[in-house]
Structure 1
Amino acid sequence: MNTCKNTFFSFCQTIAKLRSDDGCPWDRKQTTTSLKKYIAEECAELLEAIDENDPIHLCEEIGDVLFLLVLLSEIQSESAHFTIEDVISGINAKMIRRHPHVFAGTELKNEIDLNKQWEKIKSMEKKKK
């Protein structure tokens, strides 16, 4: 796990360097809006890689999407809106909350009950917003 943590931290530092004053002009000029077309393109390529069932291509496309998501988070961080840590801790908490059958000892009889529970939790989350 530490290897993953260290690798991800290093990757985030790479993205921050690309956005820095002595970084890459293309990366520095990107905005949340300008990244939309690249996110759409890379997600389409990711879907193609899934359809091809090619693990090497899939790995590459996951990396491309991850790059854009971390870049998007870095841009938001620069404006003090949120950080990549906020994104990760938020989704981690959400997955734990939505999986009480895994993390809280709740037992479910079947996939139908699982889906009902998921939708109920999701609905409760929306009411809190």
Structure 2
Amino acid sequence: MQGDTESLSALMALIDRLRGEGGCPWDQRQTARSMSRYLLDECQELVAAIESGDPAAVREESGDLLFTLAFIVRLYEQQNAFTWQEVCAELHAKMVRRHPHVFGHATARTEEELQRQWAEIKAAEKRGQAGGS
């Protein structure tokens, strides 16, 4: 089985092939806006698979959602707007920031305290930068 980096690289290479010369005309025409409508469909299909309790269906639908998301990220990379690495680095930093009870010195004894901390951190992020989520 390929490692995480190799798997992601292979996925991005597949998207490049589909969108490149000699690729698929449908894929070549897509924009982030045209692809965005598939996100909700794929999320709903993943939720249905999870609720069905079928791991094979969850794996398949997770792949469909990941493909759609990776496709959209690649479109933005091609516009030099941001990179997949930037998405991952920003997400990593956000999750570390929002888990001070794991990565910092904060404590939370109950799930309610965790949820309160999360909400406070998220609100502070939104006040500090437009578009933080």
Q: Distance in 2 between the 1:100 and 1:66 partners?
A: 28
Moved over 6 A (4+): none
After alignment, is 57-66 or 2-11 more displaced? Answer: 2-11
Q: CA offset at residue 22 of structure 1?
A: 2.6
The alpha carbon displacement at 1:93 in A equals 0.9
Gap change, CA 1:105 and 1:6, over 3 Å in 2? farther
Instruction: Give TM-score scaled by structure 2 length.
Output: 0.89
1:49 matched to 2:72? The reply is: no
Separation in 2, partners of 1:94, 1:85: 14
Query: Please, which runs of 5 or more residues in structure 1 have no aligned partner?
Result: none
Q: Corresponding residue for 2:34?
A: 34
Q: Does 1:121 align with 2:125?
A: no
CA offset digits 1:102-126 (Å, max 9, x no partner)? 1114221111111111011001100
Identity within the alignment, % = 38
Unaligned runs of 5+ in 2: none
Cα root mean square deviation, aligned: 1.4
> Does 45-54 or 98-107 show the bigger shift?
98-107
Alpha-carbon distance in structure 1 between the residues aligned to 2:13 and 2:106: 39
Aligned residue pair count? 128
State the secondary structure of the residue aligned to 1:114: helix
* TM-score (normalizing by structure 1): 0.92
